[in-house]
Amino acid sequence: KAPAECSLVLREHCVLPSDTFLAKGSANLDKLKDLCNEGKEHPSTLFQLYTQAVLDITYFEENQLVDEDFPEESALQKLKELLSVLSEPEDLVRECGIKEPINILGAELLECLYWRKGALLYMYCHTAKERSEWLQENIATFKKCLNDGVQYLMKMLSFRCPLQLDEDISLQDKDTARLLSEGVFSDTHLLAMMYSGEMCYWGLKHCGEGKQESLESIDPVSSGDLGGRSQSISLDFQETGSNMLTKYVAVCEGPLKGQGWNTTTAKQMLHYFVKSRN
């Protein structure tokens, strides 16, 4: 299945071409089609162009979902569709026999794909947790959304190796060096730590330690779980959340102190983790 063929699927999402992101996505699909017809471009360029179109078009649809406050009757199905489309670039690369998609798509695009999947589930869970009746009836689905969302964000944080500081490395800005050594390469990396910690907090608070439903028995939120392969790894919300929020607080109160990053909520959640452990 070539990127050009997949563009036909994406075009079904182009409902309002006047929107900036849809226009960008449509333009990339046209360029992709032309390059495929010429047959001269390197495959990595085609895959990257297709991935950018996926990111643009799904961003428009995500914004629609947020603006509509994730309609209870249709949001979950729409989530599945969006997560499936966002998984498509990596799945396509693997179908071509390439074991390491990062060699074709690059770290930045892969980070974008996983960030978008994790942040989308974060926003959905943020809304769903306030619907007490729905939450009571769909606690297993809620837990699965949290579990997948955290794993997407953790994967996003893993594509670039933290800078190893040693005597051979000399950086004038020690704060920057500290950030890179902690694996924080942008504001988005820091937000991913906070989001994943907060989702773990919701998981512990609403799902509880005693409710270890088998994730295999739950319909997957996306057509392919982490890494485009079906997995059902049940996270330890307490341990994972504590680790993520501890690192977030350390960075915000260390090299980013005075830069406007608030740690009050993160500290409250860390206190909850400690209290629940005791």
DSSP tag of 229 = S
- pLDDT on residue 229: 42
51 assigned to some structural domain? no
Rg (CA), the chain: 20
Domain count of the fold of the chain: 1
186 assigned to some structural domain? yes
Q: How many helices (H) and strands (E) does the chain have?
A: 11, 0
- pLDDT on residue 46: 84
Indicate the residue type of 141: T
pLDDT tens-digit readout, 159-192: 887 666 655 555 556 766 777 767 777 889 999 9
How many degrees, rounded to 5, is the angle at CA 162 between CA 159 and CA 167?
150
4 assigned to some structural domain? no
- pLDDT on residue 270: 97
- pLDDT on residue 99: 87
What is the model's pTM? 0.81
Domain residue limits at 143: 68-277
Closest CA to 253 of 242, 239, 267: 267
Contact (Cβ atoms closer than 8 angstroms) between residue 88 and residue 113: no
Closest CA to 68 of 79, 55, 52, 80: 79
- pLDDT on residue 154: 94
**pLDDT under 70 in the chain at which residues?**
1-18, 21-23, 25-26, 28, 32, 34-42, 162-173, 175-176, 181, 209-232
Where on the phi/psi map is residue 78: left (φ > 0), alpha (ψ -120 to 50), or beta?
A: alpha
Distance (Å, rounded) from C-alpha 24 to C-alpha 28? 6
Q: What share of the chain is helix, strand, coil (3-state, %, to 5)?
A: 70, 0, 30
Closest CA to 262 of 237, 245, 274: 245
16 assigned to some structural domain? no
Closest CA to 189 of 216, 159, 213: 159
41 assigned to some structural domain? no
200 assigned to some structural domain? yes
Instruction: Please give the structure tokens belonging to residue 227.
Output: 């890494």
Concatenate the DSSP letters of all residues of 161-226 into one string.
Answer: PPP---TT---S-HHHHHHHHTT--SHHHHHHHHHHHHHHHHIIIII-TT----GGGSPPSSSS-G
Distance (Å, rounded) from C-alpha 178 to C-alpha 172? 11
29 assigned to some structural domain? no
